[in-house]
Amino acid sequence: MAAEMALVKPISKFSSNLRPKFNTPRTVSYSIRMSATPTTTPTSTKPSKKPNKTSIKETLLTPRFYTTDFDEMETLFNTEINKNLNEAEFEALLQEFKTDYNQTHFVRNKEFKEAADKLDGPLRQIFVEFLERSCTAEFSGFLLYKELGRRLKKTNPVVAEIFSLMSRDEARHAGFLNKGLSDFNLALDLGFLTKARKYTFFKPKFIFYATYLSEKIGYWRYITIYRHLKTNPEYQCYPIFKYFENWCQDENRHGDFFSALMKAQPQFLNDWKAKLWSRFFCLSVYVTMYLNDCQRTDFYEGIGLNTKEFDMHVIIETNRTTARIFPAVLDVENPEFKRKLDRMVVINEKILAVGESDDNSLVKNLKRIPLIAALVSELLAAYLMPPIESGSVDFAEFEPRLVY
Amino acid sequence: MLGMGTLTLGSSTTMVAHTTLTSSNTLSGTKRHNLFNKTHSLPINFTLFSSFNKLTMPLTPFTTAVASVQSDSVSSSDAPPTKNELSKYYFLVANAKFMLDEEEHFQEQLFERRRYYGERNKEQDFWLVIEPKFLDSFPEITKRLRRPAVALVSTNGPWITFMKLRLDRVLAQSFEAESLEEALASNPTNLKFEKPDNWVAPYPKYESGWWETFLPPGQKEVNS
């Protein structure tokens, strides 16, 4: 689960403070740095706050941890209740995950420490934050998949094992990133994260939409960075990028599994509500990524990318991939869509500037109100742009007449 | 159980009748026959997991195969073919532009699998076949294909099922053949894809011709 979905908060009657009992992974014995706040701009005259271990400050765009209705999940994947489960497809996926293409690949070498020692100044700080956020996002995927694997074991052993194998992949990714942080004399206390973070509740339906998108957009982000750096090695500032080619195939396969999950629940794909939710999640994921990346444009420019061009490429390709399963997607190639994203970036920058000003909290909140209203207005307008009808050929009424 | 291919087709698809391909073992003179007589060793333990044995027929090793050029016209022999001489092949097929030019992740997956097989000393069990001859046995599929067509063929049924899920815009089926050479026979075709007018990705396109690595032995294509 490579991408972040911070803006996604569908209305739910359940408390977002629900804290399921997850198994606590072994604590890493490194000095701990817990930072979830955006990087302060170099021009800020305000002294930076000392990192606070005991509370994690979350902003609008912080990576989130997720939990779900596990009882409903069990009902959805009970083969006696749900006759739509395509067992051949899940068996095929299980074989694919058991193959474990990356079992021997995420092995570090001395290049890592050498490269880290050469990184100094602002780029070092920016890079550390990239590792932290990526590690947190991968770890949140690990927790969710591991719990689903545990809870579905009796109901549907095949689906349960696939979730467990996906959590293996995510744990491997998170571990690799955390070891990278050790090159910078830092480490995330993943055990602490498990207990201390607030969990966002998502119904299973939303887990499917959101997680599918997260995995597919993760594939496109990693493969784009990898292919760019392969042809521009002068920007290869840290060896972790060399592993992105193999890494991103894990993300892509995870997305395929969520395709199969959604196909097994046609009610999530075949009516007007499904189309509205599909578009909602596309918008949320794309906007979150665009705002996050533009906020950290120094990182992407530091590795030789144009941030907005990178993001638009990722959005267009992710949207094209998503059109193979979601019943409707956004028209992201309409130039108006990018213009709206760029206006949101400007609004977001102003919101951040208000937060960093010296005003008291009451004045800050008053100043934020019109900015948030403007952001909501742009989001709504983007959502209401005419969508593109889409979906798997397996569900297309016109399939017998399709030419391949 | 019906062939794996039928399970991967959408429910609204017209069901394609399962066809068994057999080759007439016509000899045409000792001298000419010797020119085409080859020894093939088919993979024996290619099944990755024993739990899938029921989904994949065990293979019997062949030591001799009749040249496929002698069996352009496929005909059934009167006697039922001996079971242990037939292998089952699963395939996905679509137009070549989609598979080889537009779907760049497809290339990544094939190279990943090839690398994995190399690391674990596994025999290759998947190939790309451009303009495959076995399509002649599937008129319902053939009439829905833009040409030139390319097929991904494998003896690993579940993997083809997985690839159908990934690619979506492909047709899937299966057939039986006496030899690998027969199964992977193709009609010569030169592939040439136009450069995209507007390539905006922040990296270059994969080089044309990447698929030659996966063509059956002896069928390397002249890429103009």
Q: What is the enclosing helix (H) or strand (E) of A350?
A: helix A335-356
Number of domains forming the structure of chain B: 1
Tell me the torsion sign for CA atoms B98, B100, B103, B109. Answer: positive
B35 falls within a domain? no
Give the model confidence (pLDDT) of B56-99 as tens digits: 333 333 233 233 332 333 333 344 444 456 899 999 999 998 99
pLDDT at A342 over 70: yes
A404:B146 CB<8 A? yes
- CB pairs A-B closer than 8 Å: 110
Taking alpha carbons only, the member of A200, A192, A138 closest to residue A167 is A138
- Residues B126 and B154: beta-carbon distance below 8 Å: yes
- pLDDT, greater one: A130 or A60: A130
CB contact under 8 A, B168 and A219: no
- Domain range annotation of chain A: 59-266, 269-391
Interface list for B 115-174 with A (CB within 8 A): 116, 119, 144-146, 158-159, 161-162, 165-166, 168-171
Burial, A25: exposed, middle or buried (Cβ in 10 Å; 0-12, 13-18, 19+)? middle
A289/A283 Cα distance (integer angstroms): 10
Please state the ipTM of this predicted complex: 0.86
In chain B, the residue whose alpha carbon lies closest to the alpha carbon of A228 is B203
What is the Cα–Cα distance from B38 to B54, expressed in whole angstroms? Answer: 31
Q: For the stretch B13-48, what's the b/e string if a residue is b when 16 or more beta carbons lie within 10 angstroms of its beta carbon?
A: beebeebebbbeeeeeeeeeeeeeeeeeebeeebbb
The rounded distance, in Å, linking the Cα atoms of B57 and A31 is: 55
Contact B171/A404, CB-based, under 8 Å? Answer: yes
Residue B172 lies in a domain: yes
Q: Are strands B126-130 and B149-154 parallel, antiparallel or unpaired?
A: antiparallel
Q: What is the CATH number of the domain that holds B93?
A: 3.30.70.1860
| Residues in chain B, pLDDT under 70 | 1-85, 219-224
pLDDT computed for residue A149 by the predictor? 96
B169 contacts A93? CB cut-off 8 A: no
Tell me if B10 and A252 make a contact (CB, 8 A cut-off). Answer: no
Nearest to B61 by CA among B137, B123, B4: B123
Classify strands B126-130 and A199-202 as parallel, antiparallel or unpaired.
Answer: unpaired
Mean pLDDT of the region A18-41:
32
What domain range is B170 assigned to?
88-188
Q: Does A245 touch chain B (CB under 8 A)?
A: yes
* Interval A74-97: pLDDT, tens: 888 888 787 777 879 998 999 899
Task: With a cut of 60, say whether residue A325 has pLDDT above it.
Answer: yes
pLDDT digits (tens, 9 = 90+) for A177-231: 998 999 998 888 888 888 787 788 988 989 999 999 999 999 999 999 999 998 9
Q: Which of B122, B165, B168 to mutate to test the interface with A (most CBs of A within 10 A)?
A: B165
- A245-279: buried (b, 16+ CB within 10 Å) or exposed (e) per residue? bbbbbbbbbbbbbbbbbbbbbeebbeeeebbebbb
Predicted confidence (pLDDT) per residue in A279-297, tens digit = 999 999 999 999 989 988 9
| Residue-level pLDDT at B9 | 29
Average pLDDT over residues A330-355: 94
Q: Are residues A136 and A178 in contact, defined by beta-carbon separation less than 8 angstroms?
A: no
Is the predicted pLDDT of residue A11 greater than 80, yes or no? no
Q: CB–CB of B22/B76 below 8 Å?
A: yes
CA distances in angstroms from A173 to A85, A112, A369, A402, listed in the order given: 30, 16, 39, 40
A343-399: pLDDT as tens digits: 999 999 999 999 989 888 999 999 999 999 999 999 999 999 999 989 998 888 778
Residue B158 lies in a domain: yes
